[in-house]
């Protein structure tokens, strides 16, 4: 008869081995950089870096909602949808779209294709222009893109455009200035060096709260960040240049409005250097010079010192 002790000893040996392995592996796992359990964010633990892919999917879905479902798939011609229209229309990003956005479907290829187009959205509309109803006076439907933008931001807090695009529609078409500011501040906490968010937050103060001092501070901070991050690059790409022009033009016009003409001129010269329409900026410059000479400020005023304040 075989001893009953042998299986018990094997079992004990296995348990000791498992315990020892677990103790060794746990030390390694805790110090491993890919350890998701260190994050307190449930989504991060579950999805890891794939969150960013889902975040982009939901951002594009928001744009599909902006078009009331009329949106190209991966099998269609997407040239006219390279930059989401809801982002381009918000003026927070530069556009790269070309081609005909009205007819990416082309002509029906067969009778099934022709029939199917009567059974799904097949007309180009924007929610801020009434959407499927075509009621141009009703732009409040744009609120429907918000859930997807919120989810996109939750999944990837480092995608700047989600904050700036959401904030624009919240304050411009939904009248929710406080929510827009809160959302931008969430974005700024997650991305403290983002000049895009600072610029958009400045617009909230300038256009909605009419607090031009804070707007100026934010735009100056945005400009400083832009110069720190992008100006050193040999030829900033179009989208980056677009935002520089936006920031500097808003600063220039604000200074002009407040009568700080020398500062306004200084900004306008920099604006002109990077603007795709220098002749139009030159007209602004001549206008400011005329105002300076009529106000007699040209020899007395000094450019105002930057008063960058934490936003």
Q: Give the footprint of another protein on this chain (CB under 8 A).
A: 65, 68-69, 73, 75-76, 109-110, 112-113, 115-116, 118-121, 131-133, 140, 143-144, 146-148, 150, 170, 174, 176, 179, 183
From the list 195, 236, 241, the residue with the least C-alpha distance to 219 is 195
Nearer to another protein, 186 or 301 (CB): 186
Residue 248 CB, nearest approach to another protein (Å):
31
201: Cβ contacts below 8 Å, ≥ 6 apart: 167, 181, 184, 185, 188, 218, 311
Residue 40 has which token pair?
């307190």
Residue 79 CB, nearest approach to another protein (Å):
15
The set of long-range contacts for 262-266, using a CB threshold of 8 Å and a minimum separation of 24, is 262/292, 262/297, 262/298, 262/301, 262/302, 262/303, 263/303, 263/304, 264/288, 265/289, 265/292, 266/303
Nearer to another protein, 179 or 212 (CB): 179
From the list 216, 211, 146, the residue with the least C-alpha distance to 180 is 146
Residue 170 CB, nearest approach to another protein (Å):
6
Residue 68 CB, nearest approach to another protein (Å):
4
Nearer to another protein, 188 or 265 (CB): 188
Nearer to another protein, 137 or 234 (CB): 137
Nearer to another protein, 143 or 241 (CB): 143
Residue 117 CB, nearest approach to another protein (Å):
10
From the list 71, 96, 67, 103, the residue with the least C-alpha distance to 82 is 96
């Amino acid at each position: 008869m075989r001893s009953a002790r042998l299986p018990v000893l094997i079992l004990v040996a296995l348990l000791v081995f498992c315990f020892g392995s677990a103790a060794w592996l746990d030390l390694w796992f805790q110090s491993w950089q890919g350890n998701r359990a260190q994050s307190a964010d449930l989504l991060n633990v579950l999805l890891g870096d794939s969150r960013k892919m889902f975040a982009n999917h939901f951002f594009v879905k928001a744009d599909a909602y902006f078009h009331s479902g009329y949106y190209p798939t991966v099998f269609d011609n997407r040239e006219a949808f390279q930059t989401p229209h809801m982002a381009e229309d918000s003026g927070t990003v530069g556009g790269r779209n070309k081609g005909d956005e009205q007819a990416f479907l082309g002509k029906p290829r067969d009778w099934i294709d022709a029939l199917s187009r009567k059974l799904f959205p097949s007309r180009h509309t924007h929610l801020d222009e009434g959407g499927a109803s075509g009621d141009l006076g009703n732009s409040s439907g744009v609120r429907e893109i918000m859930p997807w933008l919120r989810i996109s931001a939750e999944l990837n807090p480092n995608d700047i455009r989600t904050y700036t695009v959401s904030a624009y529609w919240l304050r411009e078409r939904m009248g929710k200035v406080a929510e827009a500011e809160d959302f931008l501040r969430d974005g700024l906490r997650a991305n403290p060096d983002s000049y895009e968010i600072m610029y958009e937050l400045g617009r909230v103060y300038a256009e909605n709260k009419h607090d031009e001092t804070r707007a100026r501070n934010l735009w100056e901070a945005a400009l400083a960040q832009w110069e720190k991050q992008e100006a050193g690059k040999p030829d900033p790409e179009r989208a980056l240049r677009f935002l520089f022009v936006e920031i500097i033009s808003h600063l220039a016009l604000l200074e002009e409005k407040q009568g700080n003409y020398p500062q306004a001129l200084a900004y306008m010269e920099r604006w002109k250097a990077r603007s795709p329409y220098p002749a139009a900026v030159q007209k602004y410059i001549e206008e400011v010079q005329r105002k300076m000479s009529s106000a007699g400020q040209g020899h007395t005023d000094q450019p105002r010192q930057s008063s960058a304040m934490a936003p």
